[in-house]
Amino acid sequence: MVRPGDVLLVDWREPVSGGESNKSRPAVVVGSRVLSANATTLILVPVTTDSSVVLADFALNLTQTAGNGLRGDSFALAHLVTAATRSRVYGHIGAVTSEELGAVRALVHRALED
């Protein structure tokens, strides 16, 4: 069962549009517990190691740990929050801490504010 805070491997390739990612990358599940367990789509925040795409006010630095499964220190890109079908998910590598999940959700909220 998918839970908020899980770090999943997501295939973002085809079809893509505009500036969307066109590769596989990790993502943090930010949707609610009920939604993440039952919906056909997941609400995700993509994760990258590429600091050149980071908007500092909307990114959380995630340090690589055994618990989150990331391959290196990374950034959760809250301004790129998206929904993706479960069929794009091909792996579960870990989970962020509850504090990190709260921080990512707060940054998503900030990105949606006027």
Read out DSSP for 28-45?
EE-S-HHHHHH-SEEEEE
Band (pLDDT 50/70/90 cuts) for residue 23 is: confident
What mean pLDDT do residues 64-88 have?
95
Q: pTM, whole model, 2 decimals?
A: 0.92
Architecture (CATH level 2) of domain 6-112:
Roll (2.30)
Band (pLDDT 50/70/90 cuts) for residue 108 is: very high
Q: Calculate the average pLDDT of the chain.
A: 92
User: Per residue in 32-63, pLDDT tens?
Assistant: 999 888 999 999 999 999 999 999 999 999 99
Q: Which residues contact 110 (CB under 8 A, 6 or more apart)?
A: 57, 58, 78
User: Among 80, 103, 93, 101, which Cα is nearest to 7's?
Assistant: 93
